[in-house]
Homo-oligomer: A and B are copies of this chain.
């Protein structure tokens, strides 16, 4: 029955559960017990339990006082704040990178990424540009972290980005659906350029401000998506958003 499973059960459980939560199989606010998950996944309690606590640390779940877990829900303000926090951390990364005064060689990798992004954004290939853009965008953010070379920044960023809607690429798809998409994309790309430029010139404060402002693009797209519900479907983790119909605690 189970000789096939040689991969880690715990990872399986984690992936499946995350998928279930993200796709709305488990609704926000819903209580989820070990047993229910065991029945649903066919994995025994030990790895399931481990996966549940991992999801708790990732922010998807919270423990209930009486034991068991509950699917976390998020307000629009929460999403906004998460994006802001990412922006601040990336800003700090840019500043730290600038203060190290990296030479041209150290900047080579990220410069290549910026140029590749240039080609994508300016490119006349309207079809199939999305995939590489997302990939390069993520690469840019990773390479910015590499330049800062701070395990603490890395750690905090990883923590906030474990919330899917806080990642740099979360709202790219929203922009796509909107007419001004091309202009926004070019604007963001200019920011990429200027961030690297500021770092190269050791302008820490400027690099920080640019990176922070860069994250505001995501906030802009968030507002767009909130106004046009159909756009929300493009955002990973949108199902975790609290339904406004809930008369739940606005304020504790």
Contacts and interface: CB of A to CB of B under 8 A. Distances in A.
Nearest to A87: B92
B159 A82 contact: no
A219 to B, nearest CB: 13
Nearest to A78: B152
A150 B77 contact: yes
Interface string A113-156: 00000000000000000000000000000000000011111011
Nearest to A156: B85
Contacts of A78: 150-152
Interface of A: 46, 50, 53-54, 57, 59, 77-78, 81-82, 84-85, 88-89, 92, 96, 149-153, 155-156, 159-160, 251-252
A57 B57 contact: yes
Nearest to A152: B81
- The 4 A-B pairs with the shortest beta carbon distances in the complex, nearest first, are A81-B152, A57-B57, A81-B150, A82-B152
Query: How many copies of this chain does the complex contain?
Result: 2
Contacts of A57: 57
Contacts of A88: 88-89, 92
B251 A152 contact: no
A156 B157 CA distance: 9
Interface centre among A46, A88, A156, by most chain B C-beta atoms within 10 angstroms, is A156
A80 B88 CA distance: 16
Contacts of A85: 89, 92, 152-153, 156
B81 A153 contact: yes
Interface centre among A54, A59, A151, by most chain B C-beta atoms within 10 angstroms, is A151
A101 to B, nearest CB: 15
A149 B53 contact: no
14 contacts: A50-B50, A50-B53, A53-B53, A77-B150, A78-B151, A81-B96, A81-B151, A82-B152, A85-B156, A88-B88, A88-B89, A88-B92, A149-B251, A152-B160
A7 B54 CA distance: 23
Contacts of A159: 156, 159
A59 B150 CA distance: 14
Contacts of A153: 81, 85
Nearest to A160: B156
A71 to B, nearest CB: 15
